[in-house]
Structures are given as C-alpha cells and as structure tokens.
Chain A
Amino acid sequence: MTNPHAPPLLAIRGLSKAFLGVQALDGVDFTLRHGEIHALLGENGAGKSTLIKTLTGVYQRDGGTIALNGAEIAPRSVEDAQRLNIGTVYQEVNLLPNLSVAENLFLGRQPMRFGLVDRAAMRRRARAILDGYGLSIDVAAPLQRFSVATQQIVAIARAVDMSAKVLILDEPTASLDAQEVAVLFDVMRGLKARGIGIVFVTHFLDQVYAVCDRITVLRNGRLVGERRTADLPRLDLVAMMLGRELEAAAHRLAQPTEVDESAPPLLRFQGVGKARSVAPFDLDIRPGEVVGLAGLLGSGRTETARLAFGVDRADSGTITVDGAPVALRGPREAIRLGFGYCPEDRKKEGIVGELSVRENIILALQARQGWLNPIPRRRQEEIADRFIRLLDIRTPDAERPIQLLSGGNQQKALLARWLATEPRFLILDEPTRGIDVGAHAEIIRLIERLCADGMALLVVSSELEEIVAYSRRVVVLRDRHHVAALTGEDVCVERIVAAIASESSPPVAEARP
C-alpha cells in the first residue's frame, strides 16, 4: 500500500541518550512505516520510555537523527512534538478526570463564537469524533465517570484529532480487561487503515501477536532487532527480550536446601485473588523454601506480593498460616504474623528517605514493639551496626540519611529492617533491581543464607538466572494468571521462558508440587 521508495513515516537512526554517565539509549534505530502497528518491546531499563520521551520532546537526544517523512526533526517540548503530528497516549491517561469528555478533547483549542467557547459546537464535534470510534457516550459528563478503556479512546481521539500522523500508545492496555482490549484494537486497526503509524508499547505478548505488524526489541538501551511479527515465533521473541541464547540457558547454580515435603506449609493461599489485579491462585510455602515469581512486567507478580503482605486486600480465597486461617487486613497484621515485605518501588514505598540508616533499620521492629516500648538508643546502634556489618551496607556511619546511600545499600538496609524483626516469611519484590553487580551477588547470597536458616521467601524478579539460582520452586505468571509451577529439574530458564511464551491457554491454578 505504500511506495517502497518513499521515506518511512518515522526513521530514527543511531539515537543516543545518557543521564549523568548512564547510557539509557545507545545508537538505537527504529523505523515506523505508514499504516503500521509497530510493537516496541523490552524489559525494565531497556530504554523504551527514554526512546518515547526523546521522540515526544520530553528529553533532548545526545546523538542520532529522527526523520519524519524524510525531514529531520528535533522536538523540544510536548507541544512541539504535537505540532509535528506526534501524539502520545500514556498508561495513566494524561487527561483531566474532572473535565467533561468534550472539554478534554478540545482543551486549548475549543471552538469559539463571539469570543466565547461555543459549548454546543464543542459537544457536537466531540460526539462526531467519538462516533468515528464507535463510542457513543455523554460527552458532557466528566471523564472520570468512564472506564479506563473509554478514557484511553478519548485520549487517542484527542491525539489523532490534533492531526497526529504518529501515535504512540504507551502501555494503553495495562489496566484493561479483555473486552476493552478488543475495542481498543478495533480502534487501532481503524487508525492503521487511515495510514497512521502506531508505536505500541505493551507487556502482553498475546496482544503483540494479535495486532502488531512489526516488532522492535530493545534491551539495556540497545537495539536487539526488528522483525515482522509473522516471522518471529513467540519463544524467539521472549529470548530476544530477556537476552538469552536458549541453547545455553543457565541451569540452577546452587542446589537449594532440602525441604521436608511432608511438613505442613507455613503459608497456604487458596483461591486468593483480586479483581483487576491477579486471578485467584493457590500457593503453598514451606519453611526454608524460596518460591520465585517469574513473569514479564505487568503479569501480576507484584500484585501477588502485595496480596501476600496484605497491602492489597484479596477479594476471594483464604490464607492460612500454620494451619490457622488469618485475615490479612493490612501490613500491621502481616508483620504480627512474622511477615516482611521489601517493595519494588524502594523510594516511594520502602525507605523513609530523610531518616537515618539506623532509624530505617529499626523502624519495623520498633513499630511492632509499639511506641511506648522504645528500643534504647544503644540497642538501636547495636542492631544497626550489626546489620551494617553483616550485610556490608556501605555508609560512613549509621546516622547518614538513607536517601544519600546508593540503591544497593538502600536495598540492603531495607532487608536489614525486616531481618531485625526475625521474620518467618519474607517477600522480596525485585530485590536486585537497579543495584550494581557487587551488591547484586551479595543479596543473592543473603537470600540463600536466609532460607538455609529456615525462613520462607517469596521472591519476585525479572532476572531469570537469579530466580533459577535460588528458587526451589518457580511460579510463572502471565496476563495476571499463575500459569505454571516448576519444581526440581524443571526449574531452569528455558522452562520459565517457555511458560511465559506459551499461547494463551485457559489459566490453570498452580499444580501442586
């Protein structure tokens, strides 16, 4: 349908961007053709966001060229990019929930009459636009009244109506259900037929195969490759994303500790789930056992961890600890039961930045003891110093505000916070994310030591080798379902990858080991 000699809609060549020495994008090429849906894939830190933000003028590139229809462009701001006909729709809809649908569509470019906003015309035109997307809703109602899917379509309609030729959809399906996704895909196909080029960022492989023509995979800021979807088997795609030659897939590095299978589980989840978060699952965890949660970003890993600590409350199922059912109403109950949780977002949910390393380490223990029963200062210092030594937390002294430490040392201090409470069950969400190699290995050794001491661990990680190294059992998640449970010989990277890449099958509850 397009002349092969005409320049592509968008041609990015050799794009580079660094942040204070960290190379976020390193000579990346990306080509978007007219009337194509092009998946941009990659795990955390692959550089997708940086690429998009450079394209939309949020960041300025360090090197490389961006050409739109053959003409080089350099968007300096979001408005600039909009003027160049590059529109973006983000996962968290960046519209205004308090304004009406029509106002959202026309903010800043309302139809005017006699110097005033012509509200009737605005509503009429809004209705006409949305009709084109098969959406007949009350355009005068505030946007927040509508589902995220509808809001996404409104955002797309706004971007397209502002004459977008390139439409970037950054994880638009992350919080949509299957039906809503189908509607969105119809909209995308319609736009494609109008010659608009769509860059589609998602974590759901099924969706990639359902709607995309081509796939570009990034990893660690570099281009891994561009393929036609039809030519790329799922398994190869996952291998591209995770960066492994499957023949040489790593097998387990260490032999996990023996666990008495006949022993009653410390924890038992039966049919625990939460709507729009993670489908009901069964899971047993025994003392001294490390259970790994593997899956792509957005597959329900973190959601499972949050349910297990009571941060989110399950809307179905039962949780038993030592055979007794418990109502996990919140973190305080979980802590009382001897649980601990290192969240994925260290900065927002983990550390208390302004407070010292010592205070951060003793916080959970102190909270459990109650404010009336303060840990004496000397004892606090002992605890802090012990863990600083034990975990090799690099800080000049225990009194330094924790926000001044490096990410790895913050993570170790958070681990120390929970170890100080001598927990029976510890949940670690991406414990090695954003941590330098040295600290990385130390944290893995620490996990192994902890389970040797009889602690039960639930570890979420995107690093498959890592999971394979320390997990006795790996639960694989896909599309918010627990799809497989691997034990024994099956705990290896290739089996995990295969489970992640498996075709959408009816979700199975975890098979008992």
Chain B
Amino acid sequence: MIQRFLPLIVTMMVLVVGFLLCAVQFPNFASLRVVGNLLTDNAFVGIAAAGMTFVILSGGIDLSVGAVIGFTTVLLAVLIEQAGLHPAVAFAVALAVATGFGAAMGAVIHWFQMPPFIVTLAGMFIARGVSFVLTTDSIPINHPLYSDLNDVAWRFAAGGRLSLPAMLMLGVFGLSMLLAHWTRFGANIYALGGNRHSAELMGVPVARTTVAVYALSGLLAGLAGIVFSLYTGAGYSLAATGVELDTITAVVIGGTQLTGGYGLVLGTFGGVLIQGLIQTYITFDGTMSSWWTKIAIGVLLFVFILLQKGLLAVWSDRGGEPAEA
C-alpha cells in the first residue's frame, strides 16, 4: 500500500517542506493571499496537466496541449470580438473543437499505430499553425462577461481570494480523481498503461479508451485555453508556448510514471503547485533570477525519474531477469 503512494507522499512532502522553507524565509509568505494567487496563476497549467495525467497514465504523451491552449485563446478572441458571438457560445465551440482535435489525434494513434509522440507533435504544429493563420496579433477580448467572470471569486476574510480559474482547477482535479479512481473508464486507462496486450485480452475496449483519453486531454487543454484567455483577457497565437513541457513535468514530479500505468491525479496537482511554488519563491526573493526555476525543475525531474526507476526495480525484482545489453 505504502509503495503505491510513496511517490505521492514524496511529492507532497516536497511541496510542504518547500512551502515551509518559503514561509520561514519570507514573513508574508504563509498567507491565504499567496496561496490564492498560487492557485490562480497556475490554474491553466493545472487544468491541462490533469488531462496530461490521463494521457501519460495510458502510456501515451500529448505534445499538443500548449498549442491547443494558444489556439483556443485565438479562437475565442476571433469568435467573440470579430464574429460577435456570445462568450458562452464561443466557449462551447472552443471546447468542442479542442475535444474533436484530441479525439482525431487519438484515432490516428490507435488506427495507424503511430507513436503518440510524433502524432501529437504534428498536432502541435497544426494547432499553432492554424492559430497563426487566424491571427498573429494579440487580440484583446473586451466582452463584459470577461470582467464579470474575473470578478467571480471566493474572498477570504483574512485577505486573498479564490478566483474562478482557481475554483475551476480545483473542480477539474476533483472530477479527474473521481474519473481516474472511481469509474471503469479510469480503470481502463490504468490497464492500458500497464500492458496494452493484457488489457485487450481482459476485454478493455482499447480503441475507445485511447481515443477518449486524447479527447479528454484536448477538452481539458481547451478549458485551460478558456481560463488562460480569462486570465490574460486576450487571444494570442504564441500564448502558452512550452506549456506541454510544464504539464509533462508536473505529471512526472507528481509521481506518475512516464511509461504509463502508475500514478495518481492528486500527485499532478502537487507537481503543478511545486512548480508554481518555485516561481513564487523566486518572485518573492527578488534578487534571484527566473532561470533557477528551470534548473530547479530539471533537477526535480531527474530526482523523480530516478526515484521511479528505483521503485520499479524494487517492485519487479521478483523473478525478473535482468536483460543483458
């Protein structure tokens, strides 16, 4: 039991210890305001990372999420500002397009037996390319609903607020945990990541699950795009470049095996917050430079990959023959 949760425990310990270190160093750190901002600032990454968790659990990878987020912001801007659609309609259209896009990639991956890495790379090119074709400018979105939505927040008595994006992210993680651990679909995803062939023999609908996983990732990337456009109030084709890396990193730091089959959605939440915490720390410090974020995250990635490698070796030493090479 402990072994299954060990990566999660390590992730959460890193998070807590990190937070405590920050709190010791900066007197204002341990406040609801900082926590609220941490959640808000990382909401879109978190939502996309939840989707990435499912993809990686199933043994795949989705490089297109950053591009899909960028595309969604552009699409929303074009639909709302240029086509005059109501944001609610635009949201629905954007979510549908993003979901369909993910499903299409999943279909190509399954039926053409192509590596997810390369299919979603092409998907990334396409999504970015289409956003560039739509517009290369940053289009501000001035619809009143946007400012209304941005005002929606749960305000704490002690200062600070839980914004709509933050609430959305928490909701997404809640639902994702439900999906991963309390539905047959979730079990099928783990099964696929554990061993595709065995899963098939045990009656898991492999095709449907694969397509659904990428569709889900697309849907959540679309939602992340909506959140990002709320957050920035604009649509920009270069928005969220590299977010696919941030999400993959969050998933790994969250204790999920990149090879699939092992991991917990809650861990990804921790991974997102650890990344956010590092950034917040550096902002608070003021003298430290932003590049330490990347280095620190790289080091964490390395440590977690080694940790998982070690755990897997410990788990499977029973009767396992070391392959010679």
Contact = CB atoms under 8 A, between A and B. Distances in A.
Interface of A: 78-79, 82, 94-99, 103, 107-108, 110, 112, 116-117, 119, 138, 140-142, 144-145, 147-148, 175, 276, 311-312, 330-331
A489 to B, nearest CB: 39
A117 B1 contact: no
A95 B1 CA distance: 19
Contacts of A142: 3-4, 315
23 contacts: A94-B198, A95-B198, A95-B202, A96-B195, A96-B198, A98-B190, A99-B190, A107-B187, A107-B191, A107-B202, A116-B178, A117-B183, A119-B181, A138-B1, A140-B1, A141-B4, A145-B3, A145-B315, A147-B318, A147-B319, A148-B318, A175-B319, A331-B324
A278 to B, nearest CB: 13
B201 A119 contact: no
Contact of B199 (A79, A96, A311): A96
Interface in B178-193: 178, 181-184, 186-188, 190-191, 193
Main secondary structure of the interface of B (DSSP, over half): helix
Given A78-B203, A141-B1, A311-B324, A110 B184 contact: yes
Contact of A312 (B197, B201, B321): B321
B173 interface: no
Contact of B204 (A82, A98, A107, A311): A107
A95 B203 CA distance: 11
Contacts of B194: 96-99
Interface of B: 1, 3-4, 178, 181-184, 186-188, 190-191, 193-195, 197-199, 201-204, 261-262, 315-316, 318-319, 321, 324
A95 B261 CA distance: 13
A99 B321 CA distance: 22
Contacts of B262: 98
A108 B193 contact: no
B315 A144 contact: yes
* Interface of A, helix, strand, loop or mixed by DSSP: loop
A108 to B, nearest CB: 5
A107 B178 contact: no
Contacts of A78: 201, 203
Contact of B261 (A98, A107, A116, A147): A98
B182 A119 contact: yes
A99 B178 CA distance: 17
A110 B198 CA distance: 17
Contacts of B1: 138, 140-141
A266 B67 CA distance: 65
Closest 6 CB pairs of A and B: A96-B194, A98-B194, A98-B261, A116-B182, A94-B198, A108-B203
B177 to A, nearest CB: 11
A330 B199 CA distance: 35
A78 B202 CA distance: 8
Given A96-B195, A107-B204, A117 B4 contact: no
A311 B322 CA distance: 9
Contact of B195 (A97, A141, A331): A97
Given A98-B190, A98-B261, A98-B262, A107 B182 contact: no
B190 to A, nearest CB: 6
A98 B193 contact: yes
